Chains A and B, each alone.
Chain A
């Protein structure tokens, strides 16, 4: 009884980090998928946001922000790809292009992962992201005037 108890404790020590990693990356991917970016309202200049729209948007942007933090800690091609896929959708639906600013840390700190993930998107989406990221980086560096 005592031996099996010690064995269980040892097992938990060994599996905990692996489990944490699984929770981090997988959790971030799940969070993005749960945000259902494809169902968000496509905004134009006449769109007046409702509370529900605001909530849904916030959920999506939070999911991407969280995923960027995770992917910088635990590099994962799958997560990077998921981030950029969601970013492309958000850039099409949100004229403020805020999604590009959110993924900027990923571009600056792990450009290789960003470029690899970019290659897996369609040419149109990749171009859209590249353009928006470039503008966001320029605005951060040199302002908006």
Chain B
């Protein structure tokens, strides 16, 4: 190798060294903390007691009955069938009684789909439920949608029965 080539190589070394400067080990800095909680009360047991506030989530659950806060879907589907319509009609009646109440429709998928697709599917299911409530006269601006994909299963098994419970859209009253 000639001296010229050697000089060039050394220059390259130096420039690479400079380019590498500024690289440093970073500390573990988590993004800003948030106060978001998961699952909301849609998937939890209703606290029973003498003081149920009218128009609250507790009031809603007492009014719509056992599992009346959710509708279920077939695999990979997002259509609102007859049973779902009855459930949503009951929910719409409650929403008509409390015109100031706002709700989030949480869309979920079972674990047998891939993660991103399930986020999209959950969103589709939540919107199907929202659209049906809107068709019953609930102001669409009172309804938010939120997809959890397959991230928050309600039933924890890996079988047809569990999957059927997890393909759902759950209506949750916003506090």
A and B associate = no
